[in-house]
Amino acid sequence: MAAAAVLALVAAGPTPPAATTSPAVDLATQARLQKVRAQVVDHAQDVAAHGASPADLLARIDADLSAVAHPDADMPAADRQALDLVAQLDASLAEQLISGSYATPSGEPGATELVVRSSADTSAQPLALYLPASYTAKRSAPLILMLHAQGQTESELLAVPFLRALADQTGAIFAVPYARGDKEYDDTTAGDVYDALAVLRGGLNVDRRRVYLSGVSLGGFVLFMVAPLNPEQWSALLAIAGSLTNDDKQSVVRAMAGKQVFLVIGADDPSIKAQYVRGAADYLLANGVESRLYEQPHGLHTLQSLQPSVERAWRDMLAGMRNVAPDTDFPSPQPETSRHT
């Protein structure tokens, strides 16, 4: 998109929020976002030339400005810090796309935003990375690559406080590819996932015996499309509020023989019925793929409501916990047709 077109789009859109003096707001973060927003407008052609959409980037920054400038008064401190982290990661992404100089895994603990060149079309694909406090290049660490939910960015999923806490507690590298956003299920995005995996393995000391593909909601369906393409790359799968479908059940059974699949679902999930996921777990077991089902009592279609079960499944997966049948007495229907949530 040409710079003139971006300027027209900005003029037609909402005015970005002005800096506020609320004590709950990090004014330095707002100032950085305002600065980088102006730079994206001024250098829209450079952003486009580097393989990204200036309009999409501006939409991210505007959303961050709104969230950071006007946090809920009763928002917990950890959630405010998560908002700030998302803003910092998105600002870093914009700065890299403006300059065309991309960060690489540094080995420093904490959260960073990387840009990966797609092997399919050379476009710039965001990758959020969190290295646990215990990470050192001298010792290999497990890697959990997680696919985000619909309407969510890689930075938003990485910023979820309890996921980063889990990474610290278990010494796991935690990474989230953008994978074309809500087009995560396109064939091209599978290549983005494997491109991200290659960058992480090339720049970090990853324990290749413990590399896991996970996903939340939409990502919890997509992982069952992605993993069978190169099953030897994955030690196990973790689907959170997602599952396999009739479209991919046979390829998953063939690809994951001898490996494990961990399934987390809320008992009261209004979008993905728990009964359906129970059926998927039983189907896998009946067809030679070891599955573990974690059904969260009163759990809904949100990570926060599923947190206890996600933590258990994450730890069990890293520990190589072996399984018997899922802990359920409910009937188990076959997987249904595809649905991406």
Q: What is the pLDDT of residues 144-192, one digit of tens each?
A: 999 999 999 999 999 999 999 999 999 999 999 999 988 767 778 899 9
Residue-level pLDDT at 339: 40
Residue-level pLDDT at 230: 95
pLDDT digits (tens, 9 = 90+) for 92-107: 999 999 999 999 898 9
The two three-digit tokens of residue 280, written as one number: 């998927």
Give residue 140's identity as a one-letter amino acid code.
S
Predicted TM-score (pTM) of this structure: 0.86
Instruction: Check the CA dihedral 230-233-237-242 and report its sign.
Output: negative
Flag whether pLDDT at 28 surpasses 80.
yes
Flag whether pLDDT at 341 surpasses 70.
no
DSSP, collapsed to helix, strand or coil, labels residue 323 as coil
Residue-level pLDDT at 2: 40
Radius of gyration of the chain (CA): 20
Which residue carries 């990502």 as its tokens? 219
The two three-digit tokens of residue 270, written as one number: 């209004």
d(CA 14, CA 12): 7
According to DSSP, residue 207 is labeled: E
DSSP, collapsed to helix, strand or coil, labels residue 41 as helix
The two three-digit tokens of residue 261, written as one number: 């699949």
Flag whether pLDDT at 18 surpasses 80.
no
pLDDT digits (tens, 9 = 90+) for 247-283: 999 999 999 998 999 999 999 999 999 999 999 999 9
Flag whether pLDDT at 331 surpasses 90.
no
